[in-house]
């Protein structure tokens, strides 16, 4: 795993660690290697490193008689500059290319699943915000943006974000950097994302990067009006009762996009669910809506929905 992709040499060549105080116990690249190997065997925190201290295989890989003290690793991490984060992203991309080549993985089509998660903070930590936190309401948090390759279940890239809602510009920068890291063998890009990424900047970034997209649309008054005016047809190929499709240009968007809607007939309206609207003889109609740049001649509404539904696996990758 380390020798065939020339991991050690690649770390030394890709990551330029200009530290004010160079560590003596090991090379800078070996500090990174030690932390990566600890994560690989299941230890996710630096205070777990003492459990690996007597491990002869790890010491042999690092070519040391013993691991440095835990405090040495703590001092090493704060000494890294922010520029190292981008270098590590480049390192990850080059490693992915080498591993795919070694494993004879020749994917020409790749699906990117992008999502945010909530990382609850305790104490006064920089960048923490009080926003959506279902499990710990009222506590500050970070909301990292994460992207995964659906076909191989690989982590494609991430961006740490404060607890506030990500802006369209930050989403666009994140998407561009993730797509830059994909191997050159990839010819067709597809993407799925939830309603947190429903904004013009994100849709524009996907389109400019020549990526087929399916994103959950947020319910707005304008969109509800389009749904009520749409031509609904029975949908036996989805889990909904009816389906429709139409073109619309939301406010602030530079062009029209295709929208695919699903309607679920419920016997009683649910006052706790804002996505349901009571219409006609007390029936409540619940909607799911997707925006896509994939034409109707290529994919039917049922195929658009089936493609998005496969995104459910990304939650397991985050957890």
Pairing of strands 109-116, 188-193: parallel
List the chain domain ranges: 7-98, 108-212, 217-319
- Six-digit token pair at 273? 């669910």
Other Cβ atoms less than 10 A from the Cβ of 196: the count is: 19
Q: How confident is the model at residue 22, as a pLDDT?
A: 65
**Residues 28-32: what's their mean pLDDT?**
80
Q: How confident is the model at residue 53, as a pLDDT?
A: 82
Higher pLDDT, 280 or 312: 312
Other Cβ atoms less than 10 A from the Cβ of 69: the count is: 13
pLDDT, one tens digit per residue, over 108-121 is 999 999 988 888 88
Question: How many Å apart are CA 228 and CA 309, to the nearest integer?
Answer: 24
Q: How confident is the model at residue 64, as a pLDDT?
A: 87
Q: How confident is the model at residue 281, as a pLDDT?
A: 39
Residue tagged 């090493």 (tokens)? 76
Q: How far apart are the first and last CA of the chain?
A: 25
Lowest model confidence (mean pLDDT) among 125-139, 174-188, 208-222: 125-139
3 state SS of 215: strand
pLDDT, one tens digit per residue, over 147-193 is 999 999 888 888 877 777 778 888 888 888 888 888 888 999 999 99
* DSSP one-letter code for 20: S
Question: How many Å apart are CA 180 and CA 177, to the nearest integer?
Answer: 5
Whole-angstrom CA distances from 260 to 2, 112, 197, 238, 245 are: 46, 20, 17, 12, 4
pLDDT, one tens digit per residue, over 42-83 is 888 888 888 888 888 888 888 888 888 888 888 888 777 777
Q: How confident is the model at residue 277, as a pLDDT?
A: 44
Question: How many Å apart are CA 58 and CA 38, to the nearest integer?
Answer: 9
Domain 108-212 carries which CATH code? 3.30.420
For a pLDDT cut of 70, what percent of the chain falls above it?
91
């Amino acid at each position: 795993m380390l020798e065939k992709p020339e991991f050690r040499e690649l770390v030394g060549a890709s990551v330029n660690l200009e530290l004010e105080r160079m560590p003596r116990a090991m090379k800078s690249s070996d500090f990174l290697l030690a932390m990566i190997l600890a994560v690989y065997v299941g230890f996710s925190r630096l205070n777990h490193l003492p459990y690996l201290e007597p491990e002869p295989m790890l010491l042999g890989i690092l070519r040391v008689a013993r691991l440095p003290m835990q405090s040495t690793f703590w001092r090493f991490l704060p000494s890294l500059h922010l520029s190292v984060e981008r270098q590590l992203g480049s390192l990850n991309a080059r490693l992915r290319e080498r591993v795919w080549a070694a494993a004879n993985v020749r994917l020409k089509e790749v699906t990117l699943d992008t999502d945010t998660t909530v990382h609850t903070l305790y104490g006064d930590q920089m960048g923490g915000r009080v926003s959506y936190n279902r499990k710990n309401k009222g506590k500050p948090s970070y909301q990292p943006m994460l992207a995964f390759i659906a076909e191989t279940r690989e982590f494609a890239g991430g961006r740490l974000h404060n607890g506030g809602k990500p802006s369209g510009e930050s989403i666009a920068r994140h998407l561009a950097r993730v797509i830059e890291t994909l191997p050159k063998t990839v010819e067709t890009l597809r993407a799925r994302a939830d309603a947190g990424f429903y904004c013009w900047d994100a849709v524009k970034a996907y389109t400019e990067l020549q990526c087929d997209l399916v994103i959950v649309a947020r319910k707005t008054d304008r969109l509800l009006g389009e749904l009520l005016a749409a031509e609904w047809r029975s949908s036996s190929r989805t889990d909904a009762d009816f389906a429709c499709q139409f073109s619309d240009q939301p406010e602030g968007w530079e062009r029209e996009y295709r929208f695919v809607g699903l309607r679920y007939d419920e016997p009683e309206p649910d006052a706790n669910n804002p996505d349901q609207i009571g219409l006609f003889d007390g029936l409540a109609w619940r909607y799911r809506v997707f925006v896509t740049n994939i034409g109707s001649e290529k994919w039917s509404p049922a195929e658009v929905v089936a493609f998005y539904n496969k995104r459910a696996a990304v939650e397991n990758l985050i957890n």
